[in-house]
Amino acid sequence: MFDVYPIYDLQPVSALGCYLYDQSGEKYLDFYGGHAVISIGHSHPHYISRIERQLKTIGFYSNSIVNPLQEEFAALLGTVSGYPDYQLFLVNSGAEANENALKLASFTTGKKGIVSFNKAFHGRTSATVAVTDNPKIRAAINPSDHVSFFSLEDLKGVENVLSNGETCAVIIEGIQGIAGINVPSDHFLKGLRKLCDQYGVVLILDEIQSGYGRTGKFFAHQYAGIQADIITMAKGMGNGFPLGGLIINPSFEASHGLLGTTFGGNHLACAAGLAVLEVFQKERLIENAQAKGQQLKQLLSEIDAVKEVRGHGLMLGVRFDFNIRSLRQHLLFEEKIFFGSSSDPNILRLLPPLSIGDSQVDQLVAGLINSLKNEEFLIH
Ligand SMILES: Cc1ncc(COP(=O)(O)O)c(C=O)c1O
């Protein structure tokens, strides 16, 4: 293997609901969700049976034939997301969704300038890595000279660039995930909406991590009461099946060949995506994410060592005044709870399945309190 991933000495061999199991049958509470991917829970019976049924009928054919599952998926996604009139384009990953969103903004406006934000992460492909604020993952072939980065909340800076008339898009995460759960204010998102309208710029909301119900609303930007022009999604969309997509304001005109993909929108992917949304509706998972998120926020902020809990729903960042690396290890190997981290060394990231119940909340809080009794973590 090309050795690019630092890995934990953990080999899950099966998974069910909110838990992972290793070879020796040890059970781990999954508050990482395979990096915010597991939305309806591992091995959900409806998800398995819908995919199984699809596989036995037709698993794949290219986008050159009629596939009614795509229309069914687009209609249900429109209803559940609150964007019923938007157009859907299906891909296979988050980076691909953003790459196509940026291209579409550039095709439509004929311009190439892009506004992005400090600490943003949008992917590793050509256009997406250029708008990602991490020069270490940008190669010489990924120019970013047409991208301007601003701090979250800097409306003045954004307006200065937009007023030059060379910008095609503003791209922003609904909540910055990899940066350590940074929530843009409602005022800021409303301000961006207004500036994009004023200067004819496409507002792209990257909801790849913060979307699909994770924050207690279908998309995080819906807390600000705004609508975006293009919204990108992936991760929770397929509950582990590689599935991404963008929804596009009806004013954007499609033409044959403008965008395209071999695998995007195939029969199996649509079946996985439909199963996820059906479970969302049946089990009221978005409401559950909101309720459990509030409960967790309250309980975690009562712990002395916790300095701040930020985020919405089940996309939470817990801030300590020390580096959480060994705390995370201790939680995994002693308390058997898998957490996420971020580029902020003091933030523990919580991204569990949206189906967690009271017992998982209790287990998490008790496990964290137990781990924190270990004085060695409190060294600054
Ligand atoms: C906000 C955001 N955008 C884009 C991506 C890229 O998604 P993918 O890894 O599926 O290409 C990620 C992945 O972590 C993400 O968190």
pLDDT in tens, 110-164: 999 999 999 999 999 999 999 999 999 999 999 889 999 999 999 999 999 999 9
Strand stretches in the chain, DSSP E: 12-16, 19-22, 27-30, 87-91, 113-117, 147-150, 167-173, 202-206, 230-233, 244-248, 308-312, 315-319, 337-338, 347-350
How high is the mean pLDDT of the chain?
A: 97
Question: Hey, what amino acid is at 148?
Answer: S
Q: Is 177 in the pocket of ligand 1 (CB under 6 A)?
A: yes
Q: Is 116 in the pocket of ligand 1 (CB under 6 A)?
A: no
pLDDT digits (tens, 9 = 90+) for 194-215: 999 999 999 999 999 999 999 9
In the chain, what's the furthest Cα-to-Cα distance? 62
In a 3-state reduction of DSSP, which class is residue 218?
coil
Measured distance CA(154)–CA(134) in Å, rounded? 19
**Which protein residue's CA is at the shortest distance from atom 16 of ligand 1?**
209
Does residue 380 register a pLDDT over 70?
no
Tell me, yes or no, if the two domains 12-37+286-378 and 45-283 fold the same way: no
Closest alpha carbon to 221 in 179, 187, 178, 180 = 187
Q: Is 206 in the pocket of ligand 1 (CB under 6 A)?
A: yes
Does residue 262 register a pLDDT over 90?
yes
How many CA atoms, within 13 angstroms, populate the side-chain half-sphere of residue 214? 35
* Residue written as token pair 């020390």: 322
Q: Which residues of 111-134 are buried (b: 16+ CB within 10 A; e: fewer)?
A: bbbbbbbebbbbbbbbbbbbbbbe
Q: Is 207 in the pocket of ligand 1 (CB under 6 A)?
A: no
Instruction: Assign domain 45-283 one CATH number from 1.10.3720.10, 3.40.640.10, 3.30.9.10, 3.40.50.300.
Output: 3.40.640.10
Q: Is 94 in the pocket of ligand 1 (CB under 6 A)?
A: yes
Compute the distance from residue 121 Cα to the ligand 1 centre, in Å: 7
Measured distance CA(240)–CA(184) in Å, rounded? 27
Instruction: Assign domain 12-37+286-378 one CATH number from 3.40.50.1000, 3.10.580.10, 3.30.70.360, 3.90.1150.10.
Output: 3.90.1150.10
Ligand 1 binding pocket mutation candidate from 90, 235, 241 (most atoms within 8 A of CB):
235
Does residue 331 register a pLDDT over 90?
yes
Does residue 379 register a pLDDT over 70?
no
Q: Is 178 in the pocket of ligand 1 (CB under 6 A)?
A: yes
pTM: 0.98
Does residue 65 register a pLDDT over 80?
yes
Give the pairing of strands 347-350 and 315-319.
antiparallel
Question: Hey, what amino acid is at 12?
Answer: P
Token pair for 326:
């060994």
Measured distance CA(146)–CA(124) in Å, rounded? 17
**Which protein residue's CA is at the shortest distance from atom 3 of ligand 1?**
122
Cα-flanking dihedrals φ and ψ of residue 246, to 5°? Answer: -130, 140
Q: Would you kindly state where each structural domain of the chain is located, as residue ranges?
A: 12-37+286-378, 45-283
Q: Is 121 in the pocket of ligand 1 (CB under 6 A)?
A: yes
pLDDT digits (tens, 9 = 90+) for 30-59: 999 999 999 999 999 999 999 999 999 999
* Residue written as token pair 């492909």: 125
* Residue written as token pair 């599952």: 69
**Which protein residue's CA is at the shortest distance from atom 10 of ligand 1?**
94
35: number of Cβ within 10 Å: 13
Please give the pLDDT value at position 147. 98
Measured distance CA(350)–CA(352) in Å, rounded? 6
Between these two residues, 374 and 373, which has the higher pLDDT value? 373
Q: Is 292 in the pocket of ligand 1 (CB under 6 A)?
A: no
Measured distance CA(139)–CA(152) in Å, rounded? 25
Token pair for 211:
């979307």
Please give the pLDDT value at position 144. 87
Compute the distance from residue 371 Cα to the ligand 1 centre, in Å: 30
3-state helix, strand, coil in the chain (%, to 5): 40, 20, 45
As a whole number, mean pLDDT of residues 279-285 equals 98
Strands across the sheet containing 347-350 = 308-312, 315-319, 347-350
Compute the distance from residue 240 Cα to the ligand 1 centre, in Å: 13
Measured distance CA(295)–CA(289) in Å, rounded? 10
* Contacts of range 71-78, beta carbons closer than 8 Å, 24 or more positions apart: 72/270, 72/274, 73/270, 73/273, 73/274, 73/277, 76/274, 76/277, 76/278, 77/245, 77/247, 77/273, 77/277, 78/247
**Which protein residue's CA is at the shortest distance from atom 7 of ligand 1?**
94
Burial class (CB in 10 A: 0-12, 13-18, 19+), 66: exposed
